[in-house]
Structure 1
Amino acid sequence: MSSPAIPSVLFVCVHNAGRSQMAAAFLTYLGRERVEVRSAGSAPADTVNPAVVEALAEVGIDISAEVPKVLTVAAVQASDVVITMGCGDACPYFPGKRYLDWKLEDPAGQGVDAVRPIRDQIEQRIRGLLADLGIEAAA
């Protein structure tokens, strides 16, 4: 008897330094290994936004070791769900994938006070995504 396939989700934004990193971190944390998680950027930054690292640390999630990654065709092809966050035409499209576009403010250049509400919106969307995938979020 085989176990059910684990769904895979790819989060994409331009720099892979803010929104997509937060979304991937929340899905990893709340999904508790029941979802394969990827994130990437169409033009990745050198480092993750420090205000994003701080905002996630406030809710007990450490992404200080994360590094922005470049978006590849292989990452899109290997993912069941692709969630874009403001990368526009730079995001590749493959028929047969489930695509969602989350309109979220870009935390680039903003302090932690401005990042907190974006973080909280992302957490709520991740909880909704888990419910859509039939996966109970961790407490």
Structure 2
Amino acid sequence: MPEHAPPSVLFVCVHNAGRSQMAAAYLTLLAGERVRVRSAGSLPADEVDPAVAAAMAEVGADLSAEVPKVLTAQAVETSDVVVTMGCGDACPVFPGKRYLDWALPDPAGRGVAAVRPIRDEIERRVRRLLAELGIAV
């Protein structure tokens, strides 16, 4: 095991079909293996929202193989940073973790044009988070 493991970031939203998938994809695109990235949902959907997948494809992120995942206590416990995006009280809290809450509109049921501004705001926040973690992009 490396002496300094990369930080682990978990993105959580209700359905794990939109905001958390976009955030995880951006973090992976920008940081690569310098950060361990996961996403989950308190009530995961059956699939990633098609408009979200289309909007992310425009910036080079392929979400076609992604499947919404259920949020587990273990995922939270093993993360250094937990970014919630509307999971409410369903997100377990563990001492010593850094929690951020990103209030963002839910892209569910919106077209690609409406998803783009949400996607772009998520990119800005992911870049800010990487700077806070000391990871250059």
Tell me the TM-score range normalised by the shorter chain.
Answer: over 0.9
Residue number in structure 2 paired with 1:56: 56
Give me the TM-score of the superposition, normalised by structure 1: 0.96
Q: Which residue of 2 aligns with 1:33?
A: 33
Identical counterparts, % of pairs = 75
In structure 2, the residue matched to 1:106 is 106
Provide the C-alpha distance between the structure 2 equivalents of 1:106 and 1:121, rounded to a whole number of angstroms.
12
RMSD (Å), alpha carbons: 0.8
Taking the aligned partners of 1:3 and 1:95, their CA distance within structure 2 comes to: 23
- TM-score w.r.t. structure 2 length? 0.97
Cα deviation digits, residues 109-138 of structure 1 (max 9, x gap)? 11101100000000000000000000012x
Aligned residues: 136
Q: For the residues of structure 1 that align with 2:48 and 2:62, how far apart are their CA atoms?
A: 12
Shift of 1:5: 2.1
* Aligned counterpart, 2:76: 76
Aligned partner of 2:11: which letter? F
Q: Which amino acid aligns with 2:63?
A: I
Provide the residue aligned with 1:88 in structure 2.
88
Measured in 1, the distance between the counterparts of 2:73 and 2:92 equals 7
Aligned with 2:38: secondary structure? strand
Aligned to 1:125: 125
